[in-house]
Amino acid sequence: MRVVYDTAGRTPVRAEFQYVEGSSSDQRAENLPVVQPLTFPLGTGQVELSVRSGQDRDLSWLNRRPTDSQDPGVTARFHSGLPERALFVSRPDDEGLVHVGIHNGTSEQISLRPNTGEQFTHGEYEVSLRYTVGTTEPNVEVVIASKPEPLNRSILQLDSVHTGITVGSWVAIQRPAKGAQGGIPGDAKLAFVTTQVVAARTAAYTNYGITGRGTELTLAAPWLDEFDVLLSHVRDTTVHAAGEPLRLADEPLGEDVHGNEVELAELYDGLRPGRTLIVSGERSDVPGTTGVQATEVVTIAAADPAVDPQLPGDHVHTRLTLTADLAHRYRRETVRILGNVVEATHGESREEAIGSGDSDRVNQTFALWQSPLTWLADDNPLGATPVLEIRVDGVLWHEVDSLAGRGPGERVYITGSTADGRTTVTFGDGISGARLPSGHENIRAPYRFGTGKAANVAADRITQPLTRPLGVTQVTNPRPAKGGADADGPGLTRRTIPLAVSALDRLVSASDYEDFARSRAGIGRAAARELFDGRRRVLHVTVAGTDDVPIDGDSDTLRALRGALTEYGDLNLPVRVDVRELVLLLVAAKVKVARDHAWEVVEPRLRQALLRRLGYEGRELGRPARLSDVLATAHSVPGVDYVDVDVFTGVPASAMPEELTGILTDPGPPKASVAAHPATYDEKVHTVRVANGETLSEICAKYGVPLAELLRLNPDITDTRRLAKGRSVFVFRGIRPAQLALLSPRAADTLILTEVK
């Protein structure tokens, strides 16, 4: 029975009845008050409903037929197939209490406070009371339920089918606290039960007048007690199931990645000593600066499984030992290590027949079908080797510089080129080198073609493999591709051919080293000079790539050059090779166009002339750039009346941040010349001039020097506190390579030409 009050929660306005047995249900609702006792059928019996005065607290009247009254207290009597009970529900008294009485010879009176409940046994029935306020319909609910047959208290019937719950898995059963259930008695230990599933099946069951299919779990421990007999007792139960085991999170490491040991998060197979890796990330060794990315190639010295028993939760992982320390320090969360690393060079592979041999002919010559032929860096005097094999009837023949002096049986050939750039192969005449044997297309050439500056692409630009071996899903180039150069043109060939014969592959003087380096493939400029490096005398060679293409200090071109200088030079003379230091010229000028000439025609001509004169083609290492060169070049262009140069200066790559900021902010009047120093030993010293001193980090940020490098240059600094005023600190000490001052067409806004109207 449910008695509903008005919105003020004072007067009963409706009585609702529901009878449930098995899967059948019968409901009835009557508006209150009733004029006289009302009798109506419900389920298998009858209900007699009446109202009476709620002022009489003596419940002995329940044994008698209630009298009619206009002061509503609701009385209901159940007969004939229903539990023989008389129920009384009063209106709230002055203290807000509702009094509920139940009688069948034995009387029970319960006083309920708002939003509380009560549960007890009355004879052979379970009685549950609930007084609810704070809603649109304040009400009192009285449930009389027959005691069910004893249940297996370890059986848990879920409301629907859950296939993810398996035998042996854990479930957590959470029920509202006793206070939330209105003080209903029960075992407090069953408010939260954690146990395992012994059995699980999909079942169809009928409970509480509801039928349906769901998952029935048999638990290892009970989750019900003898008081859990009504749907309301278990309706608010929450079951947490189908969980997954979770490992505690590792404690984050804040230390930067540096040195020659790197600990990986997991255990990785296949990492063997000698394998090449690529380490990239954001540098943390540049104070005051963030976002500086770096990438370097390292080699594994050892890869061992490791686990720290003193570290809680540690698991087996891989510890890498590198052959050398990392060049930089990296922020740990940004570090990425690539393990599937292979060396790649530009060029497409091809194997094809290039002709047929004829033993009656001498000095047969054939041309490759594809061009240009790919050349790779080598430590021979030429500096490069073509990727070409010549096989005649499956036998390998060898390339030589000249057929002169070769025997009649030597399987050799020489290479040349045609006017359109195709590579030719020429064989002997039977006296100087062997003739070709006769055969049909018996001369085959596996080779590669494709070369030049077009291959110098930025990092992460190579993403489309021509073939996909099993397991390869993606490719990329973490580092920029550098060192590619076009074939020597006629002008460069005229300059390098005399240099190749000047030293005759025997390096004695500094000029021999310079000529030898300059004549090699991929090297466009070279300057050699004997210097003191701080410990001893060395021969320093500064080089620049052809057309000033970028060259890394560890590139194949420089490795091959260093090997060749060691092989063909003086073993007792230490030689050091560095890449040039760029001095980028900045030019801004106003140009007056002569009468009857158009700016649209004159400006491109003047720009090209300045790039030829002050660009790579007209510059040498260690040679200063002069303002007179700009003026002379401009006046040699037809259509230029006069030139007014506003800016003529240079930005060296070694400029410190403060110096660079000053140049770009206020370049000043045009300089008569922009210096380009030859290779020299340099020491740059910073003197502390701040009254309260400076820290090492502040000095590093000012000059852009890593802290580790600053400590290496100043081994006498052992105190990391502020340096006192007047203290001198080395910020650079070593050899600076020769400078190359030039205008670069790749640098925007370095040559600005404005027309004078």
The pLDDT tens digits of the residues spanning 585-639 come to 999 999 999 998 999 999 999 999 999 999 988 899 999 999 999 999 999 999 9
Q: Express each pLDDT in 294-343 by its tens digit.
A: 999 999 999 998 888 877 777 889 999 999 999 889 999 899 999 999 88
Per the prediction, the chain carries an average pLDDT of 85
* Contact between 111 and 139 (Cβ < 8 Å): no
CA 27 to chain centre: 64
* Co-location of 141 and 25 in the same domain: yes
* Co-location of 196 and 325 in the same domain: no
Give the integer Cα–Cα distance in Å for 667 and 584: 13
Q: Which of 191, 209, 240 is the last residue of a domain?
A: 240
Q: What is the mean pLDDT of residues 461-481?
A: 87
* 3-state SS, residue 674: strand
* Contact between 131 and 115 (Cβ < 8 Å): yes
Give the integer Cα–Cα distance in Å for 363 and 429: 5
* Co-location of 123 and 6 in the same domain: yes
Q: What is the pLDDT of residue 701?
A: 80
* Contact between 379 and 564 (Cβ < 8 Å): yes
* Contact between 605 and 637 (Cβ < 8 Å): yes
Confidence label for 347 from pLDDT (cuts 50, 70 and 90): confident
Q: What is the pLDDT of residue 640?
A: 93
Give the integer Cα–Cα distance in Å for 151 and 216: 13
Structural domain boundaries enclosing 646: 582-677+741-755
510-518 and 556-568 are packed helices; what angle lies between their axes, rounded to 10 degrees?
140
* Contact between 413 and 400 (Cβ < 8 Å): yes
Q: What is the pLDDT of residue 204?
A: 86
Q: Express each pLDDT in 256-270 by its tens digit.
A: 999 999 989 889 988
Confidence label for 65 from pLDDT (cuts 50, 70 and 90): very low
Does any domain span residue 654? yes
Does any domain span residue 482? no
* Co-location of 86 and 41 in the same domain: yes
Q: What is the pTM of this model?
A: 0.61
Give the integer Cα–Cα distance in Å for 715 and 559: 31
Give the integer Cα–Cα distance in Å for 266 and 494: 58
* Co-location of 686 and 664 in the same domain: no
DSSP 617-640: GG--TTPPEEHHHHHHHHHTSTTE
Cis amide leading into 33 (omega within 30): yes
Residue 229 has pLDDT above 70, yes or no: no
* Co-location of 88 and 169 in the same domain: no
* Co-location of 368 and 322 in the same domain: no
* Co-location of 665 and 600 in the same domain: yes
Number of domains in the chain: 6
* Co-location of 130 and 270 in the same domain: no
What residues have CB less than 8 Å from 248, skipping those under 6 apart? 313
Does any domain span residue 540? no
Structural element, H or E, at residue 659: helix 657-665
Does any domain span residue 557? no
φ/ψ of 546, rounded to 5, equals: -60, 130
Q: Which of 320, 338, 356 is the last residue of a domain?
A: 338
Q: What is the pLDDT of residue 600?
A: 93
* Co-location of 278 and 130 in the same domain: no
Site of tokens 């230091």 = 581
Does any domain span residue 458? no
* Co-location of 643 and 701 in the same domain: no
Q: Express each pLDDT in 545-560 by its tens digit.
A: 888 888 888 788 888 8
Structural element, H or E, at residue 515: helix 510-518
Give the integer Cα–Cα distance in Å for 14 and 1: 11
Give the integer Cα–Cα distance in Å for 320 and 264: 8
* Co-location of 429 and 333 in the same domain: no
